[in-house]
């Protein structure tokens, strides 16, 4: 190592140590004077931070996190992000070029991570020291979005954790990638696409309507109640179940269950099943490497109210007058 490099390294270490000492002293003084140095709180070993983006304009939600559960609630009354147990010195939450960006992979010792486009993203060593007190619970992220915004893309990448999306009717592209965890979506409608890739875990869609749906799970199962023009569902080690809210007579099929059976409505086959009608433009492709493939029409469950007797059908008992003899 060159002498200049050695000197630079020594100076850098000294500056870091001095910075940590100054932060520690400042924290003690702030505590004595009852001055709040932070924009987050730690209570019972858990932290919570909020970011309000109601004054911004966004058309994209981009999330990239490690070990974290992500919940996107659409049609909410407010527009905010709630972050639980995030390291305050190690995440990004901002609106940049109409994209709401959340990341938790910021390395405080990596200059490109903390300085981008002339903006400093590092809040200071005081957060780095304080966050050692986070001891309870895992990380979770909640994104609340009102109907105010026209979201074109929701792009979520999670190394380990569950992702849920609820209640949105818009022409949005959904792109979800999970290393280990579950993807659940309910009551969403888009004339675009829904894509989900899961390493180990599962996919569960409930009442999802889209132009194209592509689901891939390496080790786990797929369950989908949906309506789409083209559906692709593949799992290497698991089962696939599709309940179509669209008439199955409108589809071509390419189904494969190498280790088990295929059920298409009342038809049961082993191995593979293909039906290709040139006049049909809708497709269902489903493949299960280690389980069954089931494709059926969706039948809505009967609620208790539907089984009650109609009052108009009830015959009132007739009054009988007895005559004494």
Closest CA to 70 of 238, 201, 172, 183: 183
Number of H-type helices and E-type strands within the chain: 3, 19
Of the chain, the percentage scoring pLDDT greater than 70 comes to: 68
The rounded distance, in Å, linking the Cα atoms of 91 and 173 is 25
Contact between 171 and 191 under an 8 Å Cβ cutoff? The reply is yes
Model confidence at 280: pLDDT above 80: yes
Q: What three-state secondary structure class fits 14?
A: helix
**Would residue 305 count as lying in a domain?**
no
Mean pLDDT within 194-208: 97
Structural domains of the chain, count: 3
pLDDT at 87: 73
Per the structure, the complete domain to which residue 108 belongs is given by 38-161
Cα(39)–Cα(143) distance, integer angstroms: 18
In sequence order, what are the beta bridge partners of 174? 154, 194
pTM (2 decimals)? Answer: 0.76
Q: How far apart are CA 129 and CA 306, in angstroms?
A: 59
The 10s digit of each residue's pLDDT in 158-200 is 999 999 999 888 889 999 999 999 999 999 999 999 999 999 9
Q: Does 102 share its domain with 155?
A: yes
Is 75 inside a domain boundary? yes
Identify the domain boundary among 100, 126, 161.
Answer: 161
């Amino acid at each position: 190592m060159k002498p200049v490099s050695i000197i630079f390294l020594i100076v850098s270490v000294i500056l870091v140590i001095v910075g940590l000492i100054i932060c520690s002293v400042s924290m003690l003084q702030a505590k004595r004077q009852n001055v709040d140095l932070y924009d987050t709180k730690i209570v019972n070993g858990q932290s919570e931070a909020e970011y309000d983006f109601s004054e911004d304009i966004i058309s994209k939600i981009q999330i990239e996190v490690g070990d974290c559960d992500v919940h996107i609630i659409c049609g909410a009354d407010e527009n905010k992000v709630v972050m639980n147990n995030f390291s305050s010195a190690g995440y990004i939450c901002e609106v940049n070029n109409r994209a709401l960006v959340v990341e938790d992979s910021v390395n405080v010792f990596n200059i490109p991570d903390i300085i981008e486009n002339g903006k400093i993203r590092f809040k200071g060593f005081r957060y780095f020291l304080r966050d050692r007190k986070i001891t309870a619970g895992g990380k979770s992220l909640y994104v609340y979005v009102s109907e105010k915004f026209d979201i074109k893309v929701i792009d979520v990448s999670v190394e380990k954790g569950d992702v849920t999306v609820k209640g949105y009717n818009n022409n949005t592209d959904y792109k979800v990638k999970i290393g280990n965890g579950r993807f659940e979506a309910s009551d969403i409608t888009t004339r675009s696409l829904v894509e989900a890739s899961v390493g180990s875990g599962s996919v569960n869609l409930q009442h999802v309507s889209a132009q194209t749906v592509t689901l891939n799970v390496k080790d786990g199962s797929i369950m989908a109640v949906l309506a789409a023009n083209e559906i692709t569902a593949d799992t290497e080690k698991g089962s696939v179940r599709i309940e179509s809210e669209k008439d199955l007579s409108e589809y071509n099929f390419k189904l494969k269950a190498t280790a088990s059976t295929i059920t298409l409505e009342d038809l049961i086959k082993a191995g593979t099943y293909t039906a290709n009608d040139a006049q049909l433009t809708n497709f269902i492709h489903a493949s299960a490497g280690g389980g069954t493939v089931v494709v059926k029409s969706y039948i809505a469950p009967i609620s208790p109210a539907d089984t009650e007797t109609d009052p108009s059908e009830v015959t009132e008992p007739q009054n009988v007058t007895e005559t004494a003899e």
